[in-house]
Chains A and B, each alone.
Chain A
């Protein structure tokens, strides 16, 4: 029992430290800058996106420090991506944090119910994130963000989408929602396909504790770059989805 208890205790300590930073670090080191950006920034959305990026980056740096058995390998080319719709698989709650930590200018689609949450909803709304549906009072927010997306992408921003919707813990890719491909086509944007692997071994779906004890390598790879000829041979949504599915199958 003692043998089992000790490693679990270490997981508990690390998990507590990480979530303490997630809340305490936000309040201590970041809230002031968010408030500053909210009141003074000329471009509030970009400022909030940058702060979210920095905050998640700092959280993941601390994670790397506290769980050295997990190594990380991220394709260097990924951080050069701009003006694209980025689609990524989704195996752990950490995935959005990992991907956002790679892009200073980003938007993403988030379940509408999260927009109702205090603080978190405020951060997402001000960062220009999109609610996943047009329910209730966030209808116009979604309309506004979709209408502005083409311009945002043209200016160098990225739209991050997890087309499986909810996190998938089956080991296989889940069915893709069409939203990512519809927006890519609407905005005539290239699609970059990322594969994230083994983040679920660090923070497993359905478990509260980070698993600090296994030796693991978390990777983020650029496995596909789809640049359709929207002007002369515009692809259908189904064709775009097939291309992405093929990239995942091949990658």
Chain B
């Protein structure tokens, strides 16, 4: 999956499900959009749907350090590429 396609899906999720307004790729998720750990756990469920497989414990824990939308995109790309190896 191309980064542009992942970005489109993630932005749609953030706007529709998490009520983000005008999200920027480098916005601080917590400070700019009130995105907290419960949101992050909900987002992980959405990421699993995009990827089509379940995340491991380590992958989920790693997601809790994400700060920006670009971080989310990097995170998904890395996990997808590792899974395809």
| A interface residue numbers (CB < 8 A to B) | 133-134, 139-140, 142-143, 146-147, 178-179, 182-183, 186, 236-238
| Residues of B with C-beta under 8 A to A147 | 41, 45
Report yes or no: A146 in contact with B64, Cβ–Cβ below 8 A. no
Q: List, sorted by A's number, 30 A–B pairs whose CB atoms are closer than 8 Å.
A: A133-B37, A134-B37, A134-B40, A134-B64, A139-B61, A140-B60, A140-B61, A142-B37, A142-B41, A143-B41, A143-B44, A143-B60, A143-B64, A146-B38, A146-B41, A147-B41, A147-B45, A178-B34, A178-B36, A179-B36, A179-B38, A182-B36, A182-B38, A182-B39, A182-B42, A183-B38, A186-B38, A236-B19, A237-B19, A238-B19
Q: Once bound together, how far apart are the Cα atoms of A237 and B20, in whole Å? A: 12
Task: Kindly identify, within residues 41 to 72 of chain B, every residue whose CB is under 8 Å from any CB belonging to chain A.
Answer: 41-42, 44-45, 57, 60-61, 64
Are the C-beta atoms of A186 and B57 separated by less than 8 Å? no
What are the residues of chain B within 8 A of A133 when measuring CB–CB? 37
For residue B68, give the distance in angstroms from its CB to the closest CB of chain A.
17
- Assuming the A-B contacts A178-B34, A237-B19, are A139 and B42 also in contact, with contact meaning beta carbons closer than 8 angstroms in the complex? no
Question: Smallest distance from the beta carbon of B39 to chain A beta carbons, Å?
Answer: 7
4 closest A-B pairs by CB: A134-B37, A146-B41, A182-B38, A134-B64
Given A236-B19, A237-B19: A139 touches B38 (CB 8 Å cut-off): no
Q: How far does the Cβ of B65 sit from chain A's closest Cβ, in whole Å?
A: 9
Besides A140-B61, A178-B36, 14 more A-B contacts (Cβ < 8 Å) are: A134-B37, A139-B61, A140-B57, A142-B37, A143-B41, A143-B61, A143-B64, A146-B38, A146-B41, A147-B45, A179-B36, A182-B36, A182-B42, A186-B42
